[in-house]
Amino acid sequence: MAKAVRHRGPDWSGNFIADKTILAHERLSIVGVDTGAQPLVNEDGSLALAVNGEIYNHRILRRNMKTKYSFKTHSDCEVIIPLYMEHGLDAPKYLDGMFSWVLYDRKQDRVVAARDPIGITSFYLGRSSSTPGAVYFASELKCLHPVCDDIIAFPPGHVYDSKADKLTRYFEPKWWDPTNVPSTPIDYKLIRHSLEKSVRKRLMAEVPYGVLLSGGLDSSLVASIAQRETLRMQDASRTAAQTQANSSELVGIDDSNELSTVTTFQQLHSFSIGLPGAPDTAAALEVAKFLGTKHHAFEFTIEDGLDALSDVIFHLETYDVTTIRASTPMYLLSRKIKAMGVKMVLSGEGSDEIFGGYLYFHAAPNKEEFHKETVRRVKDLHLADCLRANKSTSAWGLEARVPFLDKQFLEDCMGVDPQEKMITKDRIEKYILRKAFDTTDEPDVATYLPDKILWRQKEQFSDGVGYSWIDGLKDTAEKHVTDEMMKNPKPEWGTDIPDTKEAYWYRTMFDEHFPPSCAGTVERWTPTWSKQSDPSGRAISTHNAKYDSAQ
């Protein structure tokens, strides 16, 4: 079962067996490279832990532990063991990061599992009618479905306790209830500083890293901040080397939210992909040139994408049209990035959900509905963009980190009066995010992005890589799926009937890899307040009107 996800962790394999519990781990080493092999075990062997993730505040947690604990590794994840010793089931509340983990407590014969608040790292829980009472956990469906006939996506922000055999929500932020419409006035500098801190945390690495740069607003902002931080820390590490002040070996965030003890920073690399002449490629090149990153612009053909589709669906474990369209170029790009020796990338997922950036948000009737939809979208990210970012990259042993989904940044931005996020005649989508990084009136602050990028209209990723990509998918689906097939969907699909030939085609490919019991973990992405059956941003009338007026 563990071998089925070796692509996620090509660096090492480990296992722990005790009583009736087995933990197996496939490792991708990014922090604590030399000492962090998993599963991690405490000194007397009574606690064992397997983690997929990054704990950005592990240095602070280590320093503030009341429980005496002898750390055996430099891994950021080891801190979960003493945290559990101190706080039990409340341990996940203290973690700042992205994670899925399973811990075995031998003394209590207890298994505890948890997933990060938004579900950035993928995680599933399974059971089998042939082994009643047994519970299975894995990062991907492909480990579980040969054994389990009942599988669910482990809900984000929850902790599982085998003693009670139940899941409990531990993540309950103020914004979680969509009927509680926030009224906090906008603070542009807070948004800016909050995102800067979030990016800084996510540069915690001991291996080469880069940024995914589509040329859109979100990835460009992340790249801009990452480049500033990299240059700033290069200067700081040179100073530290000269004074020999940098003695600690732990990489991580300290109390002042500084990234400490990283002694070397390579030039920041940025990566983009598109069909020849794609809208995003030209914009990405412009941003990279402005920022001074070492940019790699890759191209793919429609044929490359079509050839990869079945593999993409196998890795994604979904048949959602939007996710597959956007994941295919990301999957192809991840392979190129890994081949260059890079193991971690920053990416821009989450911004559109937080700020109402999708073009269909133009049709929101009022601020209450606008807010309700942003909450719904953030809650569903683990089934859509987080799933895409995590699995498209993990397919090639690459890790994606998403600064927009930082716990504090979410709190700061989901708490803003949604009237500020509404799209009006004089306010483009994501206006407040753009405004937060518009330093025109701040002569002492260096420009983050050129105006035409900062105020560029939204392109959904599968559109931005080249409009003919989606057209090519539709045309090919037309050849594979007949009108007769559309009239006669498979009985095992129940009420989840594909409404287009493209959707039908993806579902049949999904069925080649996974049994019907896995379909319950899939959710199809559809825009609200829109009559469009096609989820592409280009299908939204606002987009066409914008571009028609520009031509």
Segment 376-402, tens digit of pLDDT: 999 999 999 999 999 999 999 999 999
Together in a domain, 295 and 407:
yes
551 inside domain: no
Are the beta carbons of 71 and 114 closer than 8 angstroms? Answer: no
pLDDT at residue 500, rounded to an integer:
96
Write out pLDDT tens, residues 418-458. 999 999 999 999 999 999 999 999 999 999 999 999 998 76
Assess whether pLDDT exceeds 60 at residue 547. no
3-state secondary structure labels for all residues of 404-448: HHCHHHHHHHHCECHHHHCCECCECCCHHHHHHCCCCCCCCCCCC
Together in a domain, 362 and 397:
yes
Write out pLDDT tens, residues 322-380. 999 999 999 999 999 999 999 999 999 999 999 999 989 999 999 999 999 999 999 99
Together in a domain, 360 and 234:
yes
pLDDT at residue 67, rounded to an integer:
84
CATH code for the domain in which residue 84 is found:
3.60.20.10
Together in a domain, 19 and 107:
yes
Which pLDDT band, with edges at 50, 70 and 90, does 551 fall under? Answer: very low
CATH code for the domain in which residue 319 is found:
3.40.50.620
What mean pLDDT is predicted for residues 458-485? Answer: 85
When divided into structural domains, the chain yields a total of 2
- SS3 for 153? strand
Nearest in space to 295 (alpha carbons), one of 227, 384, 218 = 227
Q: What is the mean pLDDT of the chain?
A: 92
Together in a domain, 491 and 373:
yes
- The amino acid occupying position 184 is T
Are the beta carbons of 361 and 429 closer than 8 angstroms? Answer: yes
Are the beta carbons of 237 and 264 closer than 8 angstroms? Answer: yes
Which pLDDT band, with edges at 50, 70 and 90, does 242 fall under? Answer: low
DSSP string, 192-217: HHHHHHHHHHTT--SS-EEEE--SSH
Together in a domain, 194 and 153:
no
Question: What domain range includes position 20?
Answer: 2-172
Which pLDDT band, with edges at 50, 70 and 90, does 214 fall under? Answer: very high
| Rounded Cα distance, 493 and 485, in Å | 13
Together in a domain, 261 and 224:
yes
Together in a domain, 107 and 14:
yes
508 inside domain: yes
72 inside domain: yes
361 inside domain: yes
Instruction: Supply angle C-alpha 368, 373, 379, rounded to 5.
Output: 130
Nearest in space to 462 (alpha carbons), one of 269, 266, 279 = 279
Which pLDDT band, with edges at 50, 70 and 90, does 156 fall under? Answer: very high
Together in a domain, 192 and 150:
no
DSSP string, 462-502: HHHT-HHHHHHHHHHHHHHS-HHHHHS--GGGTT---SSHH
Instruction: Give the total residue count for the chain.
Output: 551
Assess whether pLDDT exceeds 90 at residue 32. no
532 inside domain: yes
Nearest in space to 227 (alpha carbons), one of 192, 272, 196 = 196
Together in a domain, 261 and 128:
no
Together in a domain, 193 and 168:
no
| Rounded Cα distance, 381 and 518, in Å | 18
Are the beta carbons of 353 and 384 closer than 8 angstroms? Answer: no
177 inside domain: no
| Predicted TM-score of the model (pTM) | 0.93
Looking at the DSSP assignment, which residues form a beta bridge with residue 273?
298
| Least confident span in 1-5, 34-38, 122-126 | 34-38
Which pLDDT band, with edges at 50, 70 and 90, does 548 fall under? Answer: very low
pLDDT at residue 285, rounded to an integer:
97
Which pLDDT band, with edges at 50, 70 and 90, does 253 fall under? Answer: confident
Together in a domain, 233 and 159:
no
Structure-token pair, residue 122: 């993928």
182 inside domain: no
Q: Spell out the alpha helix ranges (H) of 244-320.
A: 279-291, 302-316
468 inside domain: yes
